[in-house]
């Protein structure tokens, strides 16, 4: 066992520069895509230059392929007064997450959106999203002024967050996860939860106590002082479930801020693999 662990450690060290390089390359690609797609709202141009022809779509309202996405999104993005304000971007290897406030219909409160992309060979090859309408009078995408991330914190935050996810999702040790990795004065952007670590623990334990509740992690992204987990949550065996993205900000070794988005999984979809 020790020899196996040693071999794994060696492989991790050897692969680390490749992973860092891949993340850097994909960060550059995503920066170009984000500026053109969300900033300039040039949907057709962004997809033509940055999305693969065999694009896999997990939005339940759209079939696979870039043409369907362009046809659906271009009119909304071109509407006068529509806004798509990017708040956070995470890039981790071949995965990227864009957290934004979207107002496709001017005059509405819009929605908090997490777009997740998988890149392959320099192109966006796959897309998931979680869209939650913003309740009037709330500001779920607000953010405290963050401290500048330190390079030496990046690897430590990765280790911390993976342990946090293991405790919370695999072991279901809510109090242990939050006591070890979350600051007591946690800044909470979920309008239905109180501020602070204690309120988060109480709310999460209440959800997880439901008979038949399950929470299945699909993917994890960690980028500097930001981390995210994408998962399927069900509160009973008969529950169709929901797609959920939670985003966390680290500062000085602790999670200090939290955002989340929740979208029920529909029973019918335009593709064979909705939401996941």
182-232 pLDDT per residue, tens = 999 999 999 889 999 999 999 999 999 989 999 999 999 999 999 999 999
pLDDT of residue 55: 98
Distances (CA, A) of 5 to 29, 95, 163, 271, 274: 35, 26, 17, 41, 37
Mean pLDDT taken over the chain: 91
Fold of 151-264: Nuclear Transport Factor 2; Chain: A, (3.10.450)
The answer to whether 82 and 103 are in contact (CB under 8 A) is yes
Instruction: Give the pLDDT confidence of 220-273 residue by residue, as tens digits.
Output: 999 999 999 999 999 998 889 999 999 999 999 999 999 999 999 999 999 999
Domains 2-133 and 151-264 share a fold: yes
**How does pLDDT run across 138-150, given as a tens digit for each residue?**
888 887 666 666 6
pLDDT bracket for residue 2 (50, 70, 90): very low
The pLDDT score that the predictor gives to residue 146 is 64
Is the pLDDT score of 159 beyond 70?
A: yes
CATH 3.30.413.10 corresponds to the domain 2-133: no
Q: What confidence score (pLDDT) does residue 144 get? A: 65
What is this structure's pTM? 0.90
Share of the chain above pLDDT 70, in %: 90
**Alpha-helix runs per DSSP H in 107-215:** 151-165, 174-181, 197-208
Q: Are 222 and 255 in contact (CB under 8 A)?
A: no
Q: Give the per-residue pLDDT at 5.
A: 44
Mean pLDDT of all residues in 118-146? 89
- Write down the pLDDT at residue 138: 81
The residues spanned by each domain of the chain are: 2-133, 151-264
């Amino acid at each position: 066992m020790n020899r196996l662990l040693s071999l794994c450690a060696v492989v991790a060290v050897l692969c680390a520069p490749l992973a860092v390089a891949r993340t850097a390359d994909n960060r550059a690609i995503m920066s170009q895509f984000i500026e053109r797609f969300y900033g300039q709202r040039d949907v057709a141009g962004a997809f033509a230059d940055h999305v693969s022809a065999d694009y896999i779509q997990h939005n339940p309202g759209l079939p696979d392929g870039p043409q369907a996405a362009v046809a659906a999104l271009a009119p909304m993005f071109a509407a006068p007064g529509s806004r798509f304000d990017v708040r956070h971007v995470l890039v981790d290897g071949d995965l990227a997450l864009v957290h934004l406030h979207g107002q496709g219909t001017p005059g509405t409160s819009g929605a908090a959106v997490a777009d997740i992309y998988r890149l392959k060979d320099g192109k966006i090859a796959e897309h998931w999203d979680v869209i939650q309408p913003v309740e009037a009078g709330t500001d779920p995408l607000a953010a405290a002024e963050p401290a500048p991330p330190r390079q030496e914190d990046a690897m430590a935050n990765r280790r911390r967050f993976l342990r946090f996810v293991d405790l919370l999702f695999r072991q279901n040790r809510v109090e242990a996860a939050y006591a070890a990795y979350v600051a007591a004065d946690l800044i909470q952007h979920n309008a239905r939860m109180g501020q602070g670590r204690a309120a988060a623990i109480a709310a999460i334990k209440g959800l997880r106590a439901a008979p038949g509740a399950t929470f299945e992690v699909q993917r994890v992204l960690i980028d500097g002082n930001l981390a995210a987990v994408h998962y399927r949550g069900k509160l009973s065996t008969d529950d169709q479930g929901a797609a959920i993205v939670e985003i966390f900000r680290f500062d000085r070794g602790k999670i200090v801020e939290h955002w989340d988005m929740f979208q029920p999984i529909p029973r019918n979809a335009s593709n064979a693999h909705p939401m996941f």
